[in-house]
Every structure is written in structure tokens, then in C-alpha cells.
Amino acid sequence: MANQSCCSGSSSRKKKAASCCGGESGAVEKVKLRPVIKSQSCCNTEPEAESGQPSCSCGGQTPKQEKWITGYIHTPIGDVPQVPAQLSFSDILGSWKCRWSIGRMDYAVDPGLYCVGNPDTQSPVLVTANYKMTFDRLRMELGGLDAWIVVLDTDGINVWCAAGKGTFGTEELVHRLQDVRLSEVVSHRTIILPQLGATGVAAHEVKKQSGFRVVYGPVRASDIKEFLAAGMKATSEMRTMGFTFWDRLVLTPAELVAAIKPIIIVFGVMFILNAIGLGDYGLVDLYALLGAIITGTVLTPALLPWIPGRAFSFKGFLLGLLWAVGVNFINGFPAIPEYGWLKAIAYILTLPSLSAFLSLNFTGCSTFTSLSGVDKEMKAALPVMIISATIGIVLLLVNDFMLAFGR
């Protein structure tokens, strides 16, 4: 993907890269070269007479008009895109699709400078990531405010994850502040960063390299107005990250979709085994596997605080075990199940292991797990899951062999 040009607030990151106006972009040399989402034009300083849309006065290409850009604010550095605080149906639909992993990797906005309302040189400056859902969540909370929004190039990743990966970091922030020429837009020297981005940013280095003082805002964008009204002072509640039932539940669709894809392959193998006479799989196996998946990706995350134990995998294993016993009970347990004892035992081994593994994956979504803790849990839980699932699969194959060739 091509690097964006300088005047639009998204310059090439190579040292002394030429702008569309023939000058130098002034990019910070030490910033690592990473691909930018897509190219824009350069200056956007004067609207065309016929269309009223801003064009590049130095011969560049007219920028693409995104649906969520409603106008432009004229500034000393050129026209800055203006975005509404109200989300459109398209914005809401886009977020919903991302929840289900539809187009998730491409759901991003161009890094650069944007504004809400009609900001002036004294208006606050908020910094965020270029994951569009994050960008939308911020602007929807800015109704009635006049503010500038500096969007960093985080490769389309949310603030918290990008801070951990280093894309929401000191170098990118300094680079972007210089790139959008923020010092020429506002008269103050204060920028507000989301608290969840603090792990990636060294505030003293930002001050040293750019002249801007970093203030960390609240955890939730919904507290921005109150934070600004209080003179940029956060309460203890604003500094506390929650992980409510709803917070957990909205994360489960993506986990479910990720788990369904490989299971489709498993169903395909079952169908082939049935077709060649080496299997006897049917509706029971279908709902048994789907139930284990839903248990690990939806039920365990949703019920997380109320399930005994600390380890996510253990919580998933417990619910998976209950599901496996339930499947066997429906099919004749405690008497000999209609599909035989071998398959019944196989379910007891495989279904909880599957639920435990999927529950372990949810550690990456939680607000209270640590890398060392997850690493420790994986080392302890994965071998148990693998051994249990392997024995269960062997029992299933033995059961199929016995059915195919006689007991």
C-alpha cells in the first residue's frame, strides 16, 4: 500500500520524503516504516468551485469523500475533515459486522487530523486509534463538544491491543503530531490520550520531542465530557476498567466465528467417514460438538465470575463436563447409551477439552489476565487437553471400527 502524503496529515515515513508540494515531509527518522491504510491527497486547502469539495491546490488528487465525513473546517494547515457525533446506520452495521469478524481486518480510518463540531485554537485534542469502531465510539460521545481528534496509524487495531503491540506508541504519536502540524492548529500544548494506551506511550518523551504534554483521559469514552468539564481530572471510577456481563457477551461472536471455521472441517471429515462406511455420525454428534463450542465461546465468558476456579481453561472444562454428561444423559445414560459406552466415554474426554481450549482463548479478551499468568496456564492446561482429547478421539475411531467390522 502506498504511503500517504504530507499535507493531509499522513506523510510518508521515510526520511525527507517529498510532499506533493515539492517540499520535505519532515517525518521523524526513527519511526519504523509500516504500511498505511490507504492513500489520500495532499493539501485539501481550497474547495472546487463546482463540487464544493476540497481539492489539492498543488496539483494532487482530490481526496475520497468518506460517508462519515460531513464537511471540512478551514485551518492554517488546510481543510480538516469534520465528522458527526451521531453514528449512521452504516456505522452501526459496520460495528456489528466486526463483532462477527466480517471485514474486521479492513475496518479502519485513515490516520490524521479530524474534528467534531467547530473547534478553534483552544479546543481540546483527543488521540485515538484508527480502528473504526474505536474511532466511532469516541466521536459518538462528543456530541455538543468542539474538539480535535488525532488518529494514529495502529494498523486498524484498537487502543489497548495496539499499545501492547507498540503501534499506539511514543514514536507513532510524535510522528503523527508533527505530520498533522498540530502546533499550527492549536495554541495550547496539551493532548488527551486514552488511559488504555498508556502502556505504549512515554509521556516525557512525547513532551521532549513534540512539545505537547500528555494527559491521560478516562478508561471509557462515555466519561470524556465529565472529564473535560472537571478540568481534565478523572475520578477513581473513571480510572477503573470494568468487565461486566455485557462487556463479555459482546466479545463472544468473534470467538464463536473463529471456532466454527475449523469445526466445519471436522464435520466434513465425519461426512466422508460416513460415506465410505467407516463412521456412524449423525445429529447427536452435531449438537454435541456445537454445544461444546458454544459452552467454550459464549457460556463460559458470559458466566465467568460465577464459575468456580481461577483458570479460564478450568472454568471451561467444568461447563464442558456438565455438557458432556448432559449429552450422554439425553442419549440413555446411566444405562448403556444408544451409541455405546465407548462413544459415551469419548464425549466425556473430548467435549470438556474442546470447551476448555476455547475458554482459554478468551484470556486475550479479558481485562485482568496477564501474559505471565496466561503463559503459566497454557503450560499446565494444554498438555492435559491434548492427552484427554487424543484418548477421546482414539475411542471414537475404535467405536467406528467396531461398528463397521462387527464387535
What is the CATH number for 217? 3.40.50.11600
d(CA 378, CA 371): 10
Mean pLDDT of 261-290: 86
* Range with lowest mean pLDDT among 114-123, 248-257, 275-284, 310-319: 275-284
pLDDT tier for residue 406 given thresholds of 50, 70 and 90: low
In a domain, 27, yes or no: no
43 or 340, which is more confident? Answer: 340
343 and 217 in a common domain: no
Query: Is pLDDT above 60 for 388?
Result: yes
128 or 279, which is more confident? Answer: 128
Q: What pLDDT does 274 receive?
A: 82
Q: How many domains does the chain have?
A: 2
219 and 355 in a common domain: no
Q: Tally Cβ neighbours within 10 Å of residue 376.
A: 12
396 and 256 in a common domain: yes
In a domain, 388, yes or no: yes
340 and 215 in a common domain: no
307 and 223 in a common domain: no
d(CA 273, CA 270): 5
pLDDT digits (tens, 9 = 90+) for 215-241: 999 999 999 999 999 999 999 999 998
Mean pLDDT of 301-322: 97
Cell of residue 397, nine digits: 475411531
Cell of residue 84, nine digits: 458527526
Query: Is pLDDT above 60 for 3?
Result: no
In a domain, 361, yes or no: yes
In a domain, 268, yes or no: yes
* Range with lowest mean pLDDT among 170-184, 373-387, 388-402: 388-402
Q: What pLDDT does 68 receive?
A: 94
pLDDT digits (tens, 9 = 90+) for 5-32: 333 333 333 333 333 333 333 333 333 3
In a domain, 158, yes or no: yes
277 and 173 in a common domain: no
In a domain, 210, yes or no: yes
The whole domain housing 362 covers 245-405
Query: Using only C-alpha atoms, what is the Rg of the chain?
Result: 27
277 and 180 in a common domain: no
271 and 173 in a common domain: no
pLDDT digits (tens, 9 = 90+) for 347-361: 999 999 999 999 999
Mean pLDDT of 183-198: 97
Q: What pLDDT does 43 receive?
A: 41
Mean pLDDT of 112-120: 98
314 and 196 in a common domain: no
Q: What pLDDT does 407 receive?
A: 53
218 and 252 in a common domain: no
206 and 249 in a common domain: no
Q: What pLDDT does 365 receive?
A: 86
Out of 229, 253, 278, a domain closes at 229
Out of 196, 229, 262, a domain closes at 229
397 and 291 in a common domain: yes
pLDDT tier for residue 50 given thresholds of 50, 70 and 90: very low
In a domain, 111, yes or no: yes
d(CA 97, CA 222): 22
Out of 229, 262, 283, a domain closes at 229
Q: How many CA atoms lie within 13 A of 59 on its CB side?
A: 4
